[in-house]
Amino acid sequence: MSKPKDKVLILLAFFAIYVIWGSTYLLNKIAVTELPPFFISALRFITAGVLIFIIARILRIDISITKKQLKNTIIAGFLFLTIGNGIAVWALKYLDSGFAALEVSAQPLVVLLLMLILQGKKIQPMSILGIIFGVIGIFLLVSQKEIITQENSIIGMIMLFMCMLSWAYGSIFIGDADLPPNYFVNTGYQMLTGGIMLLLSSLFFGERWSLPHEWSSSVQWSMVMLIVFGSIAAFTSFNYLLKKVSPEKVATCTYVNPIIALILGWYFLKEQITIQSVIAAIILLTGVYFINTKKKLTILTRFKR
């Protein structure tokens, strides 16, 4: 039987990756209007990583790590943050935040296909139906004339797909990897190593760096919320859930993320929500639902152990 405390933590963690991560599309979009993408992500994750270790020190949490665990956190940081986040923020230069969230909602399809290719996982009939719905939904989403005629929008879509591949592989990798047992510390190492690689990427691409006092107040607040909530709270929750439930279940955050992102983008940035986007979202998320429906019994069984 699972402990009541574990159930509460799992629910809170799902809230974090569902709602908080849904808002990060808006926050990153606001930040990237003034700041270069790799610089944004590097500053966000290095700051969050340092804060995590400071908090761990105050709470007297053991932050020791083996060479193998360090290697695995570097790999995870590269997949999730350097590629998965850094390039996604770059893509937001060319795409609306709500549209980006909808495209990323196809991630469970990518996870499933990678599990088939890498682990020989058998695809169930419901999952096949889900893939069909997902492909139709993605086609309707990315084929909109209002979207593809925008400057560099196709480049942005391709960038996001690269991020989805990286996140999907990272989700599978981290499920069986030897990582620090404390989820908070694990997150800290991934943030710090991923952030350093993002900083090197920023230097490589010659991005212009600036100090917080040079930013507008909206960018300042966006960065604070990205660091505290989007990084420390949500990413710790993400790593926690990957050890408690299956990668496909964690990927279901894409049910809620695009809805939150669409609403916030429409309300704060006046982003357009087309009828075709709504139809694409319904079809796509229906496909994601079919992919994950077959996992309910497995997850419930795991909760009861």
Where residue 248 falls among pLDDT bands split at 50, 70, 90?
low
Those residues with Cβ within 8 angstroms of residue 245's Cβ, 6 or more apart along the chain or in another chain: 10, 299, 302
Backbone angles phi, psi at 71, to 5 degrees: -60, -45
Q: What is the pLDDT of residues 277-294, one digit of tens each?
A: 999 999 998 988 887 665
The amino acid at 28? N
pLDDT digits (tens, 9 = 90+) for 174-197: 888 999 988 889 999 999 999 999
Winning range, highest mean pLDDT, from 142-146, 210-214, 242-246: 210-214
Across the range 30-50, mean pLDDT stands at 96
- pLDDT of 107 > 90? The answer is no
Q: In this predicted model, what pLDDT tens digit does every residue of 8-36 receive, in sequence order? A: 899 899 989 988 989 999 999 999 999 99
Q: Which tokens in the block code for residue 57?
A: 């020190």
**Under a CB-based contact definition with an 8 Å cutoff, are residues 288 and 255 in contact?**
yes
- How high is the pLDDT of residue 217? 96
Residue 153: what pLDDT?
Answer: 92
Residue 65 in this model has a pLDDT that exceeds 50: yes
Asked whether residue 94 carries a pLDDT value surpassing 90, the answer given is: yes
Mean pLDDT over each residue of the chain, to the nearest integer? 88
Count of the separate structural domains present in the chain: 1
For residue 194, CA distances in Å to 49, 66, 86, 121 come to 9, 18, 10, 29
Is residue 120 left, alpha or beta, with left meaning phi > 0 and alpha meaning psi from -120 to 50?
left
Predicted confidence at residue 250, as pLDDT, reads 81
The whole-number average pLDDT for the span 259-285 is 92
Q: CB–CB of 269/139 below 8 Å?
A: no
- The structure tokens listed for 164 are 């989805």
- Choose between 288 and 129: higher pLDDT: 129
Question: Which pLDDT score, from 0 to 100, does residue 277 have?
Answer: 92
* pLDDT given for residue 166 in this prediction: 95
What local confidence, expressed as pLDDT, does residue 122 receive? 81
Q: Which two tokens stand for residue 154?
A: 């196709």
Distance in angstroms (rounded) separating the CA atoms of residues 292 and 105: 13
Domain with 243, as residue range(s), is 4-303
The DSSP line for 87-131 is: HHHHHTTTS-HHHHHHHHTTHHHHHHHHHHHHH-PPPPHHHHHHH
Q: Residue 54: pLDDT band by 50, 70, 90 thresholds?
A: very high
Closest residue by Cα to residue 253 from 167, 124, 166: 167
Task: Say what the pLDDT of residue 75 is.
Answer: 97
Q: How far apart are CA 146 and CA 283, in angstroms?
A: 19
The confidence score (pLDDT) of residue 218 equals 96
Q: Are 258 and 281 in contact (CB under 8 A)?
A: yes
**pLDDT of res. 294:** 52
- What tokens appear for 131 in the block? 């893939």
